[in-house]
């Protein structure tokens, strides 16, 4: 069965079949070859994968991000970031990174940030600096989206890992590493700006203008506070928080900015549904493959093999990190979570690793993979938005990729970077 599964999966990839359908086809072929398990188990496993109350948070957060994009609040956010960091050399790059850090509190997804920020900021970055640098800045900044809470990957991981991992705890684990990623990329952008002698933006803004822009951006700044604060305060669950985010985005769009129109809603709903369907289909078909691997005792065998090589959790972590970085470069991240979390999370527990710590490390690994060539999905999104070739973008983005690897190894060496804030709220 395992041979048939592997051969069929590789064949579907070579034929260019979308990954979600490829995993479903591979699972069906493996069952047909084995003959001992009826095909109807595929439908049962697919349904079991998406029959989850916490999973409802994914479409709600996606919808909230779409609504915020149409409400015009992102332009206000960029204007607010300008008064904060616009005077630094390479100011527009710093504006992009700070905007991404704040916008991460709405989207929780790298591709959404790359699309939204890229369409708004890349034209200006291209005029003020150059296309390669501008695209690299936005691509690097977009990967902060899944790290700073709320985070789509955190929701998916917590669902797959079971009750030992809290969604809120994983949200909080990303705060310090997310800030480190953003500040480090600002330093890199500044060094590049100085070396290339990029101009300094001469912005003359008084206290009144600063206050005005801050007030205009306040709805965006308050949204993550309401969402995370409500979860930590026990007012609502992560799923209910996502629904609250949608209502909040509607209020902002209709009553505050007044740029959202009723005629915009059908298109917003369709796009949100399409994005959600991709995630749901990947989770459904990947769950079939994961189940087949489980009944063939693949996780147990892998765990026994690793423990035979070394009983050190550090060796296990380094092996897993190396493996996940390769996976993140080659595979869509949602599929990677569904396929490997049920395998790796129990193994990490057997090594005595903190479930929140290992969960966040896995998320950070796969997020770095989204920016790493050859198949980092964020790179392709930016190429589509900006019309730049992949080769040019890859050459320009390497400094930001390397910094993300630095953050990854800092979290590996100093678990407190991920666990300190969750510990303050009782997630131990």
Residue 97 above 80 pLDDT? yes
Residues 257 and 201 in one domain: yes
Contact of 80 with 211, CB cutoff 8 Å: no
Give the pLDDT score at 280: 81
Residue 32 above 80 pLDDT? yes
The pLDDT confidence band at residue 334, using thresholds 50, 70 and 90, is: confident
Lowest mean per-residue pLDDT among 122-126, 277-281, 303-307: 303-307
Strand (E) or helix (H) holding 75? helix 73-85
Residues 258 and 169 in one domain: yes
Residue 374 above 70 pLDDT? no
Residues 20 and 69 in one domain: no
Residue 178 above 80 pLDDT? yes
> How much of the chain exceeds pLDDT 90, in percent?
12
Give the pLDDT score at 75: 77
Residues 87 and 2 in one domain: no
Residues 9 and 71 in one domain: no
Residue 360 above 90 pLDDT? yes
Residue 311 above 80 pLDDT? no
Residues 116 and 230 in one domain: yes
The mean pLDDT value for 346-363 works out to: 89
Q: Name all contacts of 233-241 with Cβ < 8 Å and 24+ positions apart.
A: 237/54, 238/54, 238/57, 238/150, 238/155, 238/167, 238/168, 238/171, 239/53, 239/54, 239/56, 239/57, 239/60, 241/57, 241/150
Residues 2 and 108 in one domain: no
Question: From CA 415, how far away is CA 296, in angstroms rounded?
Answer: 34
Contact of 122 with 378, CB cutoff 8 Å: no
Give the pLDDT score at 375: 67
The mean pLDDT value for 121-129 works out to: 82
Residue 346 above 90 pLDDT? no
Residue 255 CB neighbours (<10 A): 10
Residues 137 and 279 in one domain: yes
pLDDT in tens, 256-273: 888 888 888 898 888 888
Query: What is the per-residue DSSP string for 313-373?
Result: HHHHHHHHHHHHHHHHHHS-HHHHHHHHHHHHHHHHHHTT--HHHHHHHHHHHHHHHHTSS
**Count of structural domains, the chain:** 2
pLDDT in tens, 213-256: 888 888 877 887 888 888 877 788 878 888 888 888 888 888 88
Residue 415 above 80 pLDDT? yes
Give the pLDDT score at 44: 85
Question: From CA 305, how far away is CA 402, in angstroms rounded?
Answer: 31
The mean pLDDT value for 41-57 works out to: 80
What is the DSSP code (8-state) at residue 179? H
Residues 394 and 360 in one domain: yes
Question: From CA 415, how far away is CA 359, in angstroms rounded?
Answer: 12
Q: Each residue of 73-110: b (16+ CB within 10 Å) or e?
A: bbebbbbbbbbbbbebbbbbbbbbbbbbbbbbbbbbbb
Residues 1 and 58 in one domain: no
Torsion of CA 122, 70, 62, 126, to 10 degrees: 0
Residue 46 above 70 pLDDT? yes
Residues 21 and 45 in one domain: no
**Residue of higher predicted confidence among 152 and 310:** 152
The mean pLDDT value for 61-89 works out to: 79
Residues 7 and 111 in one domain: no
Closest CA to 370 of 327, 317, 340: 327
Q: What range does the domain containing 418 cover? A: 39-424
């Amino acid at each position: 069965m395992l041979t048939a599964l592997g051969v069929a999966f590789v064949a579907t990839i070579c034929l260019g079949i979308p990954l979600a359908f490829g995993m479903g086809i591979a699972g069906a072929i493996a069952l047909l070859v084995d003959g001992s398990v009826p095909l109807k188990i595929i439908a049962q496993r697919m349904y079991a994968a998406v029959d989850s109350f916490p999973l409802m948070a994914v479409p709600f957060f996606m919808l909230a991000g779409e609504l915020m994009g149409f409400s015009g609040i992102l332009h206000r956010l960029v204007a607010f970031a300008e008064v904060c960091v616009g005077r630094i050399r390479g100011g527009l790059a710093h504006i992009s990174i700070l905007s991404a850090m704040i916008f991460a509190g709405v989207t929780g997804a790298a591709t959404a940030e790359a699309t939204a920020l890229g369409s708004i900021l890349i034209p200006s970055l291209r005029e003020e600096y150059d296309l390669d640098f501008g695209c690299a800045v936005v691509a690097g900044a977009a990967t902060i989206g899944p790290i700073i809470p709320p985070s789509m990957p955190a929701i998916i991981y917590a669902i797959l890992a079971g009750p030992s991992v809290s969604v809120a705890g994983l949200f909080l684990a990303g705060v310090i590493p997310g800030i480190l990623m953003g500040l480090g990329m600002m330093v890199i952008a500044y060094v590049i700006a100085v070396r290339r002698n990029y101009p300094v933006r001469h912005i003359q803004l008084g206290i009144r203008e600063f206050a005005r822009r801050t007030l205009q951006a306040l709805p965006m700044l308050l949204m993550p506070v309401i969402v995370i604060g409500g979860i930590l305060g026990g007012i609502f669950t992560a799923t209910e928080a996502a629904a609250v985010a949608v209502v909040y985005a509607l209020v902002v769009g209709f009553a505050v900015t007044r740029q959202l129109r009723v005629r915009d809603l059908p298109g917003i709903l369709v796009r949100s549904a399409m994005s959600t369907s991709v995630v749901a289909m990947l989770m459904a078909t990947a769950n079939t493959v994961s189940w087949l691997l489980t009944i063939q005792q693949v996780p147990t065998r892998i765990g026994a093999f690793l423990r035979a090589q070394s009983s050190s959790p550090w060796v296990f972590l380094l092996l897993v990190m190396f493996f996940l970085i390769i996976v993140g470069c080659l595979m869509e991240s949602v599929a990677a979570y569904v396929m490997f979390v049920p395998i790796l999370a129990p193994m990490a527990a057997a090594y005595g690793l903190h479930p929140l710590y290992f969960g966040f490390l896995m998320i950070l690994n796969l997020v770095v993979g989204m920016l790493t060539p050859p198949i980092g999905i964020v790179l392709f999104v930016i190429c589509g938005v900006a019309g730049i070739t992949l080769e040019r973008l890859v050459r320009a983005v390497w400094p930001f990729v390397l910094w993300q690897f630095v953050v990854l190894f800092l979290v590996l060496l100093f678990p407190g970077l991920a666990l300190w804030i969750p510990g303050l709220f009782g997630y131990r």
